[in-house]
């Protein structure tokens, strides 16, 4: 089963993707996580990706498609996977479709987690990330036991550049211009399902389970 998670940055699609993976024993394929791992490792790919991410811009398709193909060719993806953060543009969606066709499969569901922009700006402005292990917290919804300190490794919690207000608003602008057309793309393929992302995360997941069966 191949599931595509859609929604603006900060809509909660990553959280729901993790829940789907745990509930259905599927690997979570997050291009953002892959890029961040490369950034932390100081690879050339990481440096290239970081220059775009820090400005709130999309990483170019060629770079994204290359790293995704390598990831989904691994053994743990043989029975399917959940895509989080890809595709983000129509060309990426077409590249994904071509890749899946080569493998003799197709996407089963495209799930759009809907959240208004202002909710997202408030959510992301409150996010804190561990400089050491990358764990995510929130000043309102997921506080660490000790302010500014990661529960998992004791690292320092910071606001990522791509969570700052100005960058978030730019990311939303980019999303509406380049990514939202995917809603129509997958609606045309007959696999789009929408869920209300402003609800409690447990209720959002309940709605998604009803879709997946």
Q: Is 119 strand, coil or helix? A: helix
Strand partners of residue 82? 3, 28
User: What is the DSSP code (8-state) at residue 77?
Assistant: G
Given the residues 13, 36, 123, 128, the one annotated as active site: 13
Buried b (16+ CB within 10 A) or exposed e, 152-182: eeebebebbebbeeebbeebbebbeebbeeb
Q: Any catalytic annotation for residue 171?
A: yes
Whether residue 127 lies in the annotated active site: yes
Cβ-contact 122, 115 below 8 angstroms: no
The catalytic position among 36, 88, 123, 128 is 88
Q: Which of 19, 50, 128, 171 is catalytic?
A: 171
In sequence order, the β-bridge partners of residue 158 are 129
Q: Which two tokens stand for residue 25?
A: 């024993």
Catalytic residue among 160, 169, 187, 193: 160
Name the active-site residue from 50, 123, 127, 128: 127
Tell me the catalytic residues: 13, 88, 127, 160, 171
């Amino acid at each position: 089963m191949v599931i595509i998670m859609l929604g603006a940055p900060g809509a909660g699609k990553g959280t729901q993707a993790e829940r789907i993976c745990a509930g259905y024993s599927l690997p979570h394929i997050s291009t953002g996580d892959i890029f961040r791992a490369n950034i932390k490792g100081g690879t050339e790919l990481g440096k290239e990706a970081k220059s775009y991410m820090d400005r709130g811009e999309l990483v170019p398709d060629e770079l994204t498609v290359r790293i995704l193909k390598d990831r989904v060719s691994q053994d743990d993806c043989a029975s399917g996977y959940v895509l989080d953060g890809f595709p983000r543009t129509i060309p990426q969606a077409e590249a994904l479709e071509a890749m899946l066709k080569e493998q003799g499969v197709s996407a089963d569901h495209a799930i759009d987690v809907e959240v208004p922009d202002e909710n997202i700006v408030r959510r992301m402005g409150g996010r804190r990330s561990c400089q050491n292990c990358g764990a995510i917290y929130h000043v309102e919804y997921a506080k660490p036991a000790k302010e500014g300190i990661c529960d998992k490794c004791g690292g320092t919690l910071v606001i990522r550049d791509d969570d700052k207000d100005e960058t978030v608003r730019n990311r939303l602008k980019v999303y509406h211009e380049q990514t939202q057309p995917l809603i129509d793309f997958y609606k045309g393929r007959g696999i789009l399902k929408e869920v209300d992302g402003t609800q409690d995360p447990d209720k959002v997941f309940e709605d998604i389970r009803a879709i997946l069966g």
